[in-house]
């Protein structure tokens, strides 16, 4: 083991220096510079260019515009990666008797002080409201589905730490609900992406193009700025990410004795 | 050399040091949770590096969000000249969330390893497996 370690450290140093050299050779010369690459300039100029609508997205937030329009297919696949990662977590932590999970419905004997409980309740409401705000505003101000979902993920974590897993389930945030809403989010994204195909447009099309018969999603409905399909994508992504993290935290907070009981039953059967 | 360039050089140096430390943690540390921590540090270093590449060494660069909902032609030109590159930030947004999901998955696997073998030291796990 010692010899391996002595071999490893210079090897690792070599790898780090090589990667450093490659990165420095390719980037340090001109980046970050005063001028950005032409692709970045194209995105900045076209995404909210109201005078020349051939390439525009209709969103003043260039990042969300790039995320869901110019690079839309990439983001859809990354959403799928997230969905599958949560499925992996669930399959590792599955119980052979799902009824065992109800053991956690016990009385909270050791509650924290009133100050902690009241403050946590206030902060919880604020976190959830702000995350919804970030999600619905993602196409106008900095934010979007990914960010809002990550912001929401703090809420169940805080509630589990300050109260218990049972408190989160009593709030209505159960694991089956989280799976249902997560799938609903993915379905919303899929439907919004596929709808232009029925109008003989192309996949993930957002705005009207001269070469496509699809009229484009609406930019604004009366006083609401919708920025085409970005608003719908953000809602779907918010549901997917927020409920995915809720499922992860609910599973992680299952007490160890539940799994021990589950394993005992398996052993006695075999 | 402008002062902005010197700052950028220092940032590069700091990022490469952190990169080296995280690679050390992943390869040498025998504890699985420590490997996991080093892996998340590696991911964050990569994200910071990507965002640094998209920065503009102007005195006051703009964030890539339009300040007005009804822009004039001059504002669009000024925005293009002053705003930082949006593309690295787009790449990083998705990378952060995917990173979190992958870390959660690895944490689940680590818990499962502890449940099955009673230890998180991978050398002991290998011994218990009979390797």
pLDDT for A175-232, tens place per residue? 889 999 999 999 999 999 999 999 888 888 888 888 888 888 888 888 888 888 999 9
In a domain, A253, yes or no: yes
Q: Do A61 and B65 touch (CB under 8 A)?
A: yes
pLDDT score of A121: 93
Average pLDDT, chain A: 86
Tell whether B10 is within 8 A of chain A (Cβ): no
Give the count of domains, chain B: 1
In a domain, A39, yes or no: no
3-state helix, strand, coil in chain B (%, to 5): 75, 5, 20
Which residue spans within chain A are E strands per DSSP? Answer: 220-221, 224-225
Give the count of domains, chain A: 1
Can you read off the two tokens belonging to residue B72? Answer: 């004039």
d(C-alpha B71, C-alpha B15), whole Å: 38
In a domain, A12, yes or no: no
User: A100-114, A206-220, A243-257, B17-31: which has the minimum mean pLDDT?
Assistant: A100-114
Can you read off the two tokens belonging to residue A44? Answer: 């900045």
Q: Give me the residue from B8, B16, B90 closest to A71, CB to CB.
A: B90
In a domain, A29, yes or no: no
CATH of the domain at B16: 1.10.287.3510
pLDDT score of B74: 92
Cα B117 to its chain centre, rounded Å, is 32
Which residues form the domain of A257? Answer: 61-269
Say if residue B95's pLDDT is above 60: yes
pLDDT score of A193: 93
Tell me phi and psi for residue A224, to 5 degrees: -90, 125
User: Sorting pLDDT into bands at 50, 70 and 90, what band is A163?
Assistant: confident
In a domain, A161, yes or no: yes
Q: Do A12 and B27 touch (CB under 8 A)?
A: yes
pLDDT for B34-87, tens place per residue? 999 999 999 999 999 888 888 888 888 899 998 888 888 999 999 999 999 999
Say if residue A2's pLDDT is above 60: yes
pLDDT score of A109: 65
| Interface test mutation site (partner A, options B85, B106, B107, B110, max chain A beta carbons within 10 A) | B85
DSSP β-bridge partners for residue A61: B65
Q: Which of A248, A239, A245 is nearest to A181 (CA)?
A: A239
User: Sorting pLDDT into bands at 50, 70 and 90, what band is B1?
Assistant: low
User: A96-100, A249-253, B84-88: which has the minimum mean pLDDT?
Assistant: A96-100
Average pLDDT estimate for B13-42? 91
Which residues form the domain of B33? Answer: 3-62+70-129
pLDDT score of A105: 63
Say if residue A235's pLDDT is above 80: yes
In a domain, A35, yes or no: no
Which residue in the block uniquely carries the two structure tokens 């919004």? Answer: A192
pLDDT score of A104: 61
pLDDT score of B40: 94
pLDDT score of A110: 72
DSSP assignment string, A101-126: GGGG-----S---HHHHHHHHHHHHH
d(C-alpha A62, C-alpha A47), whole Å: 6
Can you read off the two tokens belonging to residue B36? Answer: 């996991």
pLDDT score of B38: 95
In a domain, A100, yes or no: yes
pLDDT score of B52: 86
Contact (Cβ atoms closer than 8 angstroms) between residue A23 and residue A16: no
Q: Do A61 and B71 touch (CB under 8 A)?
A: no
Tell whether B19 is within 8 A of chain A (Cβ): yes
pLDDT score of A165: 84
Which are the contacts of A179, defined by CB distance < 8 A and separation ≥ 6? A90, A243, A247
Q: Do A142 and B96 touch (CB under 8 A)?
A: no
Percent pLDDT > 70 in chain A is 93
Count of all residues that appear for chain A in the document: 270
In a domain, A67, yes or no: yes
pLDDT for A56-98, tens place per residue? 888 899 999 999 999 999 999 999 999 999 999 888 888 877 7
Tell whether A20 is within 8 A of chain B (Cβ): yes
Contact (Cβ atoms closer than 8 angstroms) between residue A76 and residue A189: yes
User: Sorting pLDDT into bands at 50, 70 and 90, what band is A26?
Assistant: low
């Amino acid at each position: 083991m010692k010899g391996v370690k002595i071999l490893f450290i210079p090897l690792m140093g070599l790898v780090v220096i090589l990667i450093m050299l490659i990165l420095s050779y390719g980037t340090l010369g001109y980046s970050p510079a005063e001028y950005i690459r032409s692709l970045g300039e194209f995105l900045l100029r076209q995404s909210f260019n109201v005078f020349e609508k051939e390439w525009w997205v209709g969103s003043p937030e260039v990042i969300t515009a790039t995320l869901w329009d110019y690079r839309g297919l990439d983001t859809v696949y990354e959403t799928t990666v997230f969905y599958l990662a949560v499925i992996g977590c669930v399959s590792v932590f599955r119980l052979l008797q799902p009824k065992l999970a109800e053991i956690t419905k016990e009385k909270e004997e050791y509650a924290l002080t009133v100050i902690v409980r009241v403050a946590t309740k206030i902060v919880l409401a604020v976190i959830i409201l702000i995350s919804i705000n970030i999600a619905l505003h993602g196409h106008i101000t900095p934010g979007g589905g990914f960010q809002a979902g990550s912001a929401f993920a703090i809420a169940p974590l805080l509630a589990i730490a300050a109260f218990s897993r049972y408190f989160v389930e009593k709030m209505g945030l159960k694991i089956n609900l989280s799976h249902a809403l997560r799938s609903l989010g993915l379905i919303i994204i899929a439907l919004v992406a596929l709808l232009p195909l029925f109008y003989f447009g192309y996949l993930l099309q957002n705005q009207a193009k001269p070469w496509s018969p699809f009229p484009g999603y609406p930019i604004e409905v009366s006083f609401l700025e919708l920025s085409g399909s970005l608003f719908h994508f953000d809602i779907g992504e918010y549901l997917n990410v927020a409920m995915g993290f809720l499922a992860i935290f609910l599973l992680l907070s299952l007490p160890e004795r539940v799994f021990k009981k589950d394993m005992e039953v398996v052993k006695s059967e075999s | 050399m402008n002062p902005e360039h010197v700052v950028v050089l220092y940032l590069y140096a700091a990022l490469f040091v952190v990169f080296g430390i995280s690679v050390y943690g992943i390869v040498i540390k025998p504890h699985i949770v420590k490997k996991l921590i080093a892996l998340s540090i590696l991911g964050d270093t990569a994200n910071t590096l990507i965002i640094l590449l998209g920065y503009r060494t102007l005195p006051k660069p703009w964030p890539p969000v339009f300040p007005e909902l009804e822009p004039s032609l001059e504002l669009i030109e000024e925005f293009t000249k002053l705003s930082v590159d949006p593309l690295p930030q787009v790449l990083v947004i998705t990378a952060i969330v995917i990173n979190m999901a992958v870390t959660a998955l690895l944490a689940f696997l680590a818990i499962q390893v502890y449940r099955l073998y009673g230890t998180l030291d991978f050398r002991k796990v290998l011994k218990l497996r009979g390797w």
